[in-house]
Amino acid sequence: MAMQTQVMVKDVWKSFDGGRIEVLKGVTLEVAQGEVVALCGTSGCGKSTLLNVISGLEEVDRGMVRVAGREVGEEATRVDLLRHHIGYVFQLHHLMPDLTLAENCMVPVIAAGGGRSAGLARLQELAAATGVTARLGQRVRELSGGERQRGALVRSLMNDPELLLCDEPTGALDESNREKVFELLLELVRARGRTLVMATHDVELAGRCDRKVRMRDGRIEGEVR
């Protein structure tokens, strides 16, 4: 089977504050369909920014980003990819505190124009897998950190995305929850041959991915396979 490229980042530069803050300084990275990649490096090296440019949430200054062979750039493409192709787990869960967990999880289904009953069935399945079934009807502000993070994982997977981008998905969790959420993440991704790019500074978790890509000061420093 030929390996298909899921993510192609080519010589990407990204700065903030009118060019005063250079964050990505010529990043090139290719991720094949089905790969589980850890993006490592100390805080501030540009991991979140790289995930944001892959998802199209941030525009690049120079260079090229392609997801599933489509150039991320034009708004129509970006929106389409975000709706139908990409799942995102943010460093801070970004769930809406006054909506219930179930309501939060249905947002991406609605955005993608999916059917309500299929969405609810999927929600039950993922909630059972992540252990948040009993929390679905509760407002997010009433949930613990671990429950929110698992809830964010459920939400990111609602449309069964081909590409899952996770930004320190276990960063806010204690040891036992960290382990559970990470195991679950791997299981869900691997079972369906999905692609995962996960930013983490957790060396132990990174070691369990197929591939470790190390970043330093806005550049890819090295790869450990």
Binding site for ligand ADP (CB under 6 A): 16-17, 21, 23, 41, 43-49
**Residues 16, 108, 101, 178, CA torsion sign:** negative
Nearest residue (CB) to ligand ADP, 5 versus 15: 15
Q: How many CB atoms lie within 10 A of CB 39?
A: 30
**Cβ at position 46, least distance to ligand ADP in Å:** 4
| 48 binds Mg ion per the rule CB under 5 A | yes
Distance, CA of 189 to CA of 193 (rounded, Å): 6
Supply the angle between the helices 145-157 and 101-111 in degrees, to the nearest 10. Answer: 20
Q: How many residues bind Mg ion (CB under 5 A)?
A: 2
**Cβ at position 199, least distance to ligand ADP in Å:** 6
Nearest residue (CB) to ligand ADP, 108 versus 218: 218
Distance, CA of 21 to CA of 14 (rounded, Å): 9
Stretch that binds Mg ion, among 44-52, 59-67, 74-82, 171-179 (CB under 5 A): 44-52
Q: How many CA atoms lie within 13 A of 15 on its CB side?
A: 9
- Among residues 197, 159, 171, which one has the least CA distance to residue 52? 197
Nearest residue (CB) to Mg ion, 47 versus 178: 47
**Cβ at position 38, least distance to Mg ion in Å:** 13
**Cβ at position 101, least distance to ligand ADP in Å:** 26
**Cβ at position 186, least distance to Mg ion in Å:** 20
Helix (H) or strand (E) holding 3: none
Nearest residue (CB) to ligand ADP, 43 versus 117: 43
Q: How many CB atoms lie within 10 A of CB 97?
A: 12
Query: Helices then strands (H, E): number in the chain?
Result: 7, 10
Distance, CA of 199 to CA of 47 (rounded, Å): 6
125 Cβ contact partners less than 8 Å away, ≥ 6 residues apart: none
**Cβ at position 24, least distance to ligand ADP in Å:** 8
Letters for 160-179 (x = contact with Mg ion by CB under 5 A, - = none) are: --------------------
Q: Which does 23 bind (CB under 5 to 8 A by kind): Mg ion, ligand ADP, none?
A: ligand ADP
Stretch that binds Mg ion, among 7-15, 42-50, 148-156, 158-166 (CB under 5 A): 42-50
Q: Which does 17 bind (CB under 5 to 8 A by kind): Mg ion, ligand ADP, none?
A: ligand ADP
216: left (phi over 0), alpha (psi -120 to 50) or beta: beta
Binding site for Mg ion (CB under 5 A): 47-48
